[in-house]
């Protein structure tokens, strides 16, 4: 095993950061009963998770 | 909902732990098992959790607590507790003719998330107005109240169908040519709340 390339490592870490943040926002908003929570879930959490997944897919395709 | 939220948070924590493992040990992806783990942690689980979360949030937005969470809706919530059976929403709420946990949604089924695209945009506007815009002094329905909201429970009910008054206007009610509210006209009446007796909701 030679280890992942630095570029792949960076992209996986960026993806992990985005997805992790997105999931954290989603989990926090689940505990709050308010229309703003729904919007934050979708617009902030969903966008971060979506971006993170795209970065991950790009990382594995371009590697 | 608390169980759902706890379950959601638990799976999110597990996913974040797996993500941390992949991000801190990227060499894992060199092995087949590591690639599967990364795919699960960075793609499958997050998308699955987001989809489940949206479903749970939509379901939760039917709750009375959700509707009354904005300050402007508080008088409408109070009107459900008026100790006077001539107030239609109060009578329905207090006698379990609508589920108390979903009281608003039961009679306003076409609002915001559950309406058409226009209704969803209006919902977004409500959030904007709540924080940034000017909240109107009087809140009105966008469209005349649809008899469908009453008839989805009352149509076919003996007390409704056998009433002579209802028989006279039955066809008109079905067509919305006559509104139920023309006779049953004490609805939320939020301007008349001062001084009314309020029913204290006891725990079963």
- Say whether pLDDT at B130 is over 50: yes
**Per-residue pLDDT tens over the stretch B73-105:** 999 999 999 999 999 999 999 999 999 999 999
Across the range B138-150, mean pLDDT stands at 91
- pTM attached to this predicted model: 0.81
Rounded distance between C-alpha atoms, residue B72 and residue B68, angstroms:
8
User: Mean pLDDT score of chain B, rounded to an integer?
Assistant: 90
- Say whether pLDDT at A2 is over 60: no
pLDDT at B61: 87
CB B30 within 8 A of CB A2: yes
Task: Tell me the residues of chain A between 1 and 60 that have a Cβ less than 8 Å away from chain B.
Answer: 1-4, 8-9, 12-13, 15-17, 19-20, 22-24, 26-27, 29-31, 33-39, 41-42, 45-46, 49-50, 52-53, 56-57, 60
pLDDT at A31: 86
pLDDT bucket at A1, cuts 50 / 70 / 90: very low
Q: Give the mutation candidate from A47, A56, A59, A63 for the B interface (greatest B CB count, under 10 A).
A: A56
- Say whether pLDDT at B168 is over 60: yes
pLDDT at B122: 87
Report chain A residues whose CB lies below 8 A from the CB of B63.
33
Q: Does domain B64-192 have CATH number 1.10.3820?
A: yes
pLDDT bucket at B5, cuts 50 / 70 / 90: confident
pLDDT at B203: 65
Minimum mean pLDDT range among A17-26, B15-24, B128-137: B128-137
Q: Which residue, among B62, B68, B74, B56, has the nearest Cα to B98 in the 3D structure?
A: B62
Q: Give the mutation candidate from A11, A21, A27 for the B interface (greatest B CB count, under 10 A).
A: A27
């Amino acid at each position: 095993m030679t280890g992942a390339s630095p570029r792949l490592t960076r992209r996986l870490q960026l993806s992990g950061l985005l997805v992790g943040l997105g999931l954290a926002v989603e989990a926090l908003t689940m505990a709050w009963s308010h229309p703003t929570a729904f919007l934050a879930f979708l617009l902030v959490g969903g966008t971060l998770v979506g971006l993170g997944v795209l970065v991950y897919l790009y990382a594995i395709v371009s590697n | 909902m608390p169980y759902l939220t706890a379950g959601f948070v638990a799976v999110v924590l597990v996913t974040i732990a797996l993500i941390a493992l992949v991000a801190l040990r990227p060499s894992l992806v060199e092995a087949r098992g590591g690639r599967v783990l990364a795919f699960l942690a960075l793609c499958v689980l997050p998308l699955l959790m987001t989809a489940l979360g949206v479903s749970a949030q939509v379901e939760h937005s039917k709750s009375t607590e959700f509707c009354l969470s904005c300050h402007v809706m508080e008088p409408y919530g109070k009107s459900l507790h008026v100790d006077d059976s001539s107030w239609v929403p109060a009578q329905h709420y207090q006698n379990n003719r609508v589920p108390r946990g979903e009281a608003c949604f039961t009679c306003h089924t076409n609002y915001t998330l559950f309406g058409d695209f226009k209704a969803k945009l209006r919902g977004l506007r409500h959030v904007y107005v709540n924080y940034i815009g000017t909240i109107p002094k009087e809140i009105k329905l966008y469209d005349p109240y649809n008899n469908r909201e009453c008839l989805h429970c009352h149509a076919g009910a003996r007390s409704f169908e056998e009433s002579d008054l209802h028989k006279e206007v039955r066809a008109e009610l079905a067509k919305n040519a006559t509104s139920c509210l023309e006779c049953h006209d004490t609805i939320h009446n939020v301007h008349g709340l001062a001084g009314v007796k309020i029913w204290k909701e006891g725990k079963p």
